[in-house]
Structure 1
Amino acid sequence: MSIRPLSRTDEARAKKIWKICFGDSDAFIEEYFNGIVRYENTLGYYEGRELIADLFMLKFQAKIAGADFETKFLAGCATMPEARKRGLMRELVRNAMLDMRRHGLAVTYLHPFLHDFYRRFGYETVAYVKKGRIIPRPGLENGRTLICSRMDQIPVHGMEAAYCSYIEHYDNAFHRTGGRFSQWLRLLLADGGYAAVSETEEIASYALYYMEDGTADVFELVCPEEKDSGPLLNSIPARTVNYIIPSVNDGDSEEFTMMRILNPVSLLEKVPVCKERFILEIEDDFLGEHYNLKIEKTVGGENKVEETDGKADLSLSIGGLARAAAGAFPAGDKCGEYFPRQTACFFETY
């Protein structure tokens, strides 16, 4: 058995694994492998010469508390049914973490099929959503909305500008750079999805969605104000429209994107803290590491972080640190003495 990056010769097998595990359309899988996959950013588990499990690492630029970080998003983590419950994905994820850290990354993200499964690896939820539903009432929309099902119909640059403007209101989000926005739209349309776009001089809102049996499921709703989303949602030609909006961790919201810290020092140097100085103890059970760090604010705005043997003021697991640094803890949590609460907006799931 061995773990190594996939190569082009593994593509047919990797597509088969994706199809079996996720059930996506052939058109989506083709677009994903042609437009998104970079084989140097993959890992596969091989039994002899046969690929039996794999994962993909997608390059992103994230902002955490407004500070920019190069990162990778884990996607397509899949194991053939006959090879499951052998700890293969655990080994793949561990190797991926170590590889990303060797390349200088401080954090990584994923959107899980089951949050508790990835908590075992040190991931923690840093973004929450709330669900809404409306019965569209045509005629309530103001202005016109363009319903797009092909790339040549879509005003990509206007939508990209709307997205960039939208995420400015959040502390934590992904920048979509280097053509990533267009790739995201191509995946949607290849899979039979739609974009509803407000037709104005400067596009300020849009909704990306799938239709099934008269129900539209909106997975990305970009609108300057939630109260202004009604006209856009009412323009979608469906009997029912389901949608999600970003939320804080308030007890009524649902878990969404997860983050995993790879290098606590690099992260803590850049995120805001509430106290001038404190000692933070961190246990990383999955990678078998322990940190005892003194954190001090500096005049330049970044923090000075160094190892110490002093007594900790706050002890956290590596997952707890992700939640604290991203400000995703509930109101009244002890972490609030040391880190500010923040807002997050992550639409990406692959």
Structure 2
Amino acid sequence: MIEMRRLTPQDSMQARMLWLDAFPEDGDGFCDYYFARLFPQDQYYGLFEQGKLQSMVGVCRQKIHFLGKLLQVGFLRGVATWKSEQGKGYSSRVMEYVLRDLKKQNVPAAALKTYIHSFYRKFGFEVCSYRCWHEVRENSPLTGMEFYDRVEQVPECILEGICACYRDYTADKDFFLERDSAYYRLMLTEALELYDGILAVHTNEMQRIDGYLIGFAEKESGKFRADELVCLETMHPQDFGGVAEKFNCSMLVYKAFDEREQADGMIRILDMVYFLRQKEQGVISEKGQIQVKDSLFTENNGWWQTDMNQLNSQPSKELSPGEAAVWLMESNGRQAGIFEEY
């Protein structure tokens, strides 16, 4: 007998065993951290067969800014199926169950980070962000920088300053996550406590944070790897080059989202009415229209009017719900910001 339902605390042991089977690389400590800190606050869904958890999908609620609107998004993570049970369609069944449940809860969109984009396109997702890695070899002076290697050392005023820096950085972006000081404290707990990472903060003459870096010394490569590096106009990534030398590394490498080097995050609209904040669906004859074909939610099918700035073109084909979201963003000629979730 197969049952699909939300997981309860009593299912956590089965979920942990499934996680380690699907992601054995997380046996280095991340699994323990995740199930102690993050799993209880996420909502997981599972497919059970004869009482055994065979496949699961987790959802973390986040808020994103999309073309000037603040929307709630269901971030999917922990998508896992026992290796011995793969190929039976379990993941697909759970995925569809999760998306339908999110829509019932009036969540307008779902998103995720993944390496297997073709699988999620079957459910209407489309790539919405790209990442790349840049190198910095200069050993710039570290004037005005402070360093933290323990999360309890980071005062609230620094967290608030980082939030202000992030808001300024994303001011010209059309697609990015909403963040606050609690978000950054959670992010730093993982980076500093679990991975022995470093937070580097630069303060300018006006005593405002205009750049920060979160990363760690990578022993295998001898490089300092920054998973996040944010600079305002007064700073440049090269200004953090001296961090590598400080921590006995050959160079600084940092993740960026300014080039289409590697497909990264994906998004899917769940409810066109709610996402576009329209009262009803209708055939539109003027420019600014999009035609959507959704195999999962037929109520999303048809022509939709958009009011997100001035769109100068129309797509030449029917769009999946994920393609519709990406087209709306790209038609405005602007870019995605940081697309990370913790």
Normalized against structure 2, the TM-score is what? 0.83
Equivalent in the alignment of 2:149: 149
Does the 8 Å CA contact 1:195/1:206 hold for their aligned counterparts?
A: no
Name the CA shift for 1:25/1:102 in 2 (closer, same or farther; >3 Å): same
SS at match of 1:56: strand
Q: CA deviation at 1:278?
A: 5.0
Does the 8 Å CA contact 1:283/1:318 hold for their aligned counterparts?
A: yes
SS at match of 2:124: coil
Q: CA deviation at 1:51?
A: 1.4
Matching residue within 164, 174, 185 for 1:161: 164
Equivalent in the alignment of 1:247: 258
Q: RMSD of the alignment, in Å? A: 2.7
**Cα deviation code 1:111-168 (max 9, x no counterpart):** 013222211221111112232113352xx22414333321122333322332233222
SS at match of 1:85: coil
SS at match of 1:168: helix
Equivalent in the alignment of 1:8: 9
**Amino acid corresponding to residue 194 of structure 1 in structure 2:** G
Does the 8 Å CA contact 2:56/2:81 hold for their aligned counterparts?
A: yes
Does the 8 Å CA contact 1:220/1:347 hold for their aligned counterparts?
A: no
Matching residue within 286, 292, 313 for 1:282: 292
| Paired-residue identity, % | 22
Any unmatched runs of 5+ in structure 1? 304-311, 328-338
Name the CA shift for 1:106/1:206 in 2 (closer, same or farther; >3 Å): same
Name the CA shift for 1:99/1:296 in 2 (closer, same or farther; >3 Å): closer
Q: CA deviation at 1:257?
A: 1.2
Name the CA shift for 1:178/1:43 in 2 (closer, same or farther; >3 Å): farther
**Amino acid corresponding to residue 15 of structure 1 in structure 2:** R
Greater mean alpha carbon deviation, residues 275-284 or residues 122-131: 275-284
1:230-269 aligned at under 5 Å gives the runs 230-236=238-244, 237=247, 238-247=249-258, 252-269=260-277
Matching residue within 217, 223, 227 for 2:231: 223
Find the aligned partners of 1:232 and 1:184 in 2 and give their Cα distance. 20
Find the aligned partners of 1:54 and 1:115 in 2 and give their Cα distance. 18
SS at match of 2:103: helix
Q: CA deviation at 1:58?
A: 0.5
Q: How many residues align?
A: 319
Name the CA shift for 1:84/1:142 in 2 (closer, same or farther; >3 Å): same
Find the aligned partners of 1:6 and 1:119 in 2 and give their Cα distance. 25
**Amino acid corresponding to residue 129 of structure 1 in structure 2:** R
1:1-350 aligned at under 5 Å gives the runs 1-22=2-23, 23-25=25-27, 27-38=29-40, 41-137=43-139, 140-154=140-154, 155-177=158-180, 179-200=182-203, 201-213=207-219, 214-225=222-233, 228-236=236-244, 237=247, 238-247=249-258, 252-269=260-277, 277=287, 279-287=289-297, 291-295=301-305, 297=307, 315-327=318-330, 339-348=331-340
Normalized against structure 1, the TM-score is what? 0.81
Find the aligned partners of 2:234 and 2:54 in 1 and give their Cα distance. 44
Runs of 4+ in 1 over 4 A off after TM superposition: 275-279, 286-290
Q: CA deviation at 1:67?
A: 0.7
